[in-house]
Amino acid sequence: MDNLKVVGKKIPKIDAPLKATGAALYIQDVKIPGMLHGKILYSQYPHARIIKLDTSKAEKLPGVRAVVTAKDMPPNFRIGIMKDNPPLKSGKVLSIRDEIAAVAATTPEIAEEALSLIEVEYEELPGIFDPLEAMKEGAMLIHEEAKSNILKMPWRLICGDVEKAKQESAYIVEDTFSTQWVTHCCLGTSGCVAHFDMHNNLTMYSNTQIPSLAQNDFVEALNAFGLKNRRVRIIQAVIGGGFGSKLDTYAYEYIAILLALKTRKPVKIIFTREEEFFATSPRQCTITKISHGCDKDGRLTFRDVEMVLDNGAYTSWGATTPSVMMLPISSLYKVPNVRYIAKCVYTNNTYCQAMRGYGNPQATFAIESSLDQLAEKAGIDPLELRRINANEPGEITPQRFKITSCGMKECIEEVYKRLNWKEKRGKDNGRGVGMASLIHVGGGARVYKSDGCGTIIKMDDFGKVDVFTGASDIGQGSDTVIAQIVAEVIGIPIEDVNVINNDTDICPWDVGVHASRTTFVAGNAALGAARKIREQILEAAGKILDEDPADLDIKDGMVFSTKNKEKSTPLGKALRKIHYTLGGKMLMAEYFYDPANENFDKEFKGNLSVSYAYGAHGVEVEVDRETGKVKILNYVAAHDVGKAINPLLLEGQIYGGGLQGIGYALGEKMVYQNGRLMNGNFLDYKIPTAKDVPPIQPVIVETDEKDGPFGAKGIGEPGLVPTAPAIANAIYDAIGVRIKDLPITPEKILAALKAKDK
């Protein structure tokens, strides 16, 4: 690990100049000759029957090439993990974002005008917008064919004996916490271009974060359209942010495919910012009842959690977030007895998706807020309570996670030290400190049948390398990290590495950008391929230099003998010799890495990830008792990342995650009133900007994960997981009121202060 030349260095993102200068080509920039522009007509009501749908006027508008409705889609074609979502709706609309018709025209303006010519008559129906209402016996069914509004997803994790532990606990707390809808706010809005060749093979220009799974989805769609055995190619443009929003395929993509088939032209659909707000899928809101107990010494005895999630009208990955919530619920701190039951409930609201943390922030908000309540009841300093119960290396948690490297205690100590915890805590002067920890998957996550990623490396005649990876870069910097790993292993400058990561015709399979897995899984795949090609180089150079390959090394693009320094050759020269000779060869290598993690068994147990990421956030706040405004004075974000491949990018993840978490804690909220989004724009949806960044101290704790590339673990999501409870706990320390539903607004604080004074 010593003498690393590229790995561990603060190297700026390779793509930063392109993005900073506007040279990067996003999906908005993709143009194909003959391309048409598609626009979608959405429902006017969150719940209504369509009485009449007349597209004849729109069809007659000059420039319109096709108008499609549900009639044009294959019957019974549904998308989403529960196959409950027809890309174009007929009969009844179930949410305000229901797609009912679409237009392809020669310009976006004509397409927009055509939408206004589509005549729709609705019979408005009463809707259900509260999941607790929707769960009641006899509630109106959102999906008439279903027997209940509760999804058939029995999220239920039982470890040990919670009831017995309750009886044996010295202290018990119970409370209810709730979280709001928030959205990803990707600067690059959603979009695609669907393009068929003359053999009906489909090329999708896309900004998906799951190219291989999207390819699979679209192959299925083509089958449904009667186009059997066709090829689907996904080409990703530069992606302007994902955060989980692009982890599924969406109705608009299937609509673009339908319009392209119908018109025999490439069709582009790009979301406006308003569509990006109301027609993409946010983080799900939750209602969490949680109970915690500990013994007289503060050792946790049980954790009991019941949760209701508003699923919205259709089902995407949001409904599976309880599978990840189980991770902190069962394994954040040592807690021997655990019960977790979650229900996802259909409503006439927007349907939800993955978003950075995948349920973990919602669960951790409840857990870590509740733990502070328990600490108070037990008369123990909340940080001390966490020290007592902190996870440790070698532990096997109740859900059967095998903890390998674990820097949780170090992270807690960093918070203690850098926040000046002892000094600042319990002053009751409008200032306070609070903290919260996190556990997340850090070594992939086997949520799909494969958790793998493939990498191909080829060398050219000049010592330069092309790396073809399945991993997508959605802004997180994976292209830079992969280039660093390959450069380090081979022994060449990072400038000599070219990462190609955006074309399923060229790049190998990868399950997608999720679960903070890319550095770990794609990094290991790149590492494996780079080692193979290094061996090939040394083998061939050994012959050229007449040396034992074991005595050769490569540095800065020179191959040399470690025994005889005079024996050396530039890498490019060696490669040309290998190539331009009778029976010559080009150097290429491939590697497929699939971590040795486990799918959950039927009881939702198993070692989901080969390593786990830890962290602790501590925050000092000042609360204005008169206005309710919270100011963050100091923010310590300590993360066990195994090894920082690129500390600059890693700190960027911590800043970005932290700020996203601060927005989640203190202000961001999608305001839905009776199924309608009231603040679908950046004026009314309050996302923190660069000017709102408080003093954040990112602290990197390195624990050298044995299975990680150069010892690294994942860091993509953890940055926002413990933010909200850390802030809520600090506010409690500052002014003695606990806000249990996010976001923590000044109005809620003032109301709580008023209630407390009574």
Residues that bind another protein (CB under 8 A): 108-109, 112, 272, 626-627, 629, 666-667, 671, 678-679, 683-684, 686-689, 691-692, 745-747, 750
For another protein, which is the closer residue by CB, 585 or 631?
631
Task: Compare residues 653 and 745 and give the one whose CB is closer to another protein.
Answer: 745
Other beta carbons less than 10 A from residue 113's beta carbon: 17
Compare residues 151 and 666 and give the one whose CB is closer to another protein.
666
Q: Which amino acid is at 600?
A: F
Smallest separation (angstroms) from another protein to the CB of 679: 6
Amino acid at 11: I
Identify which of 156, 158, 157, 161 has the alpha carbon closest to the alpha carbon of residue 301: 161
Rounded CA gap, 405 and 705, in Å? 5
Nearest distance from residue 620's CB to another protein, in Å?
Answer: 19
Termini Cα distance of the chain = 61
Q: Are 436 and 725 in contact (CB under 8 A)?
A: yes
For 31-64, give the secondary structure using H, E and C.
Answer: CCCCCEEEEEEECCCCCEEEEEEECHHHHHCCCE
Cα dist from 2 to 138, 435, 480, 493, 644, whole Å: 67, 34, 21, 17, 14
Nearer to another protein, 132 or 671 (CB): 671
For the CB of residue 277, give the shortest distance to another protein in the complex, in Å.
13
- Of the pair 74, 746, the CB lying nearest another protein is at 746
β-bridge mates for residue 698, sequence order: 637
Rg for the chain, CA atoms, rounded: 27
Residue 622 or residue 692: which is nearer to another protein going by CB?
A: 692
* Least Cβ distance, residue 690 to another protein (angstroms): 9
Question: If 0-12 CB within 10 Å is exposed, 13-18 middle and 19+ buried, where does residue 34 land?
Answer: exposed
Chain position carrying tokens 């974060």: 209
- Beta strand segments in 90-212, E: 92-93, 99-105, 119-124, 155-159, 171-179, 191-196, 202-206
Q: CA nearest 383: which of 438, 429, 437, 440?
A: 437
Q: Cα–Cα distance between 33 and 10 in angstroms, integer?
A: 42
Angle of helix 571-579 relative to helix 523-545, nearest 10 degrees, comes to: 80
Nearer to another protein among residue 181 and residue 358 (C-beta): 181
Residue with Cβ nearer another protein (145 or 626): 626
Q: Tell me the closest approach of the beta carbon of residue 599 to another protein, in angstroms.
A: 43
Nearby residues of 430 by Cβ (< 8 Å), 6 or more positions away: 622, 623, 624, 625, 734, 735
Cβ atoms of residues 124 and 45 within 8 Å: yes
CB of 418 to another protein, least distance (A): 24
Question: Which lies closer to another protein via its Cβ, residue 113 or residue 161?
Answer: 113
Pairing state of beta strands 232-236 and 202-206? parallel
What's the min distance (Å) between Cβ of 533 and another protein? 46
The gap from C-alpha 743 to its chain's centroid, in whole angstroms, comes to 20
**Distance separating alpha carbons of residues 282 and 352, to the nearest angstrom:** 5
Q: Count the neighbouring beta carbons within 10 Å of the beta carbon of residue 77.
A: 19
What residues form DSSP beta bridges with 172?
293
Q: Is 684 helix (H, G, I), strand (E, B) or coil?
A: coil
What is the closest distance, in whole angstroms, from the C-beta atom of residue 631 to another protein in the complex? 11
CB of 686 to another protein, least distance (A): 6
> Between 37 and 409, whose beta carbon lies closer to another protein?
37
Cβ-proximal residues to 417 (8 Å cutoff; 6+ apart), any chain: none
| Shortest reach from residue 739's CB to another protein, in Å | 14
Q: Which is nearer to another protein, 548 or 684 (CB)?
A: 684
| H/E stretch holding 639 | strand 630-640
For another protein, the closer CB: 108 or 570 = 108
Closer CB to another protein, 598 or 624, in the complex: 624
The distance of closest approach from Cβ of residue 279 to another protein in the complex, given in angstroms and rounded to an integer, is 16
- Nearest residue (CB) to another protein, 647 versus 746: 746
Collapsed DSSP state (helix, strand, coil) of residue 310? strand
In angstroms, what is the minimal distance from the CB of 113 to another protein?
A: 9
What is the spatial distance between Cα 139 and Cα 149, in angstroms, rounded to a whole number? 8
- The CB-of-755 to another protein minimum distance in angstroms stands at 15
Torsion of CA 159, 165, 171, 172, to 10 degrees: 60
Distance of alpha carbon 576 from alpha carbon 557, whole angstroms: 14
Which CB atom, from 562 or from 627, has the smaller least distance to another protein? 627
- Least CB distance from residue 689 to another protein, whole Å? 6
Provide the minimum distance between the beta carbon of 225 and another protein in the complex, in angstroms, as a whole number. Answer: 31
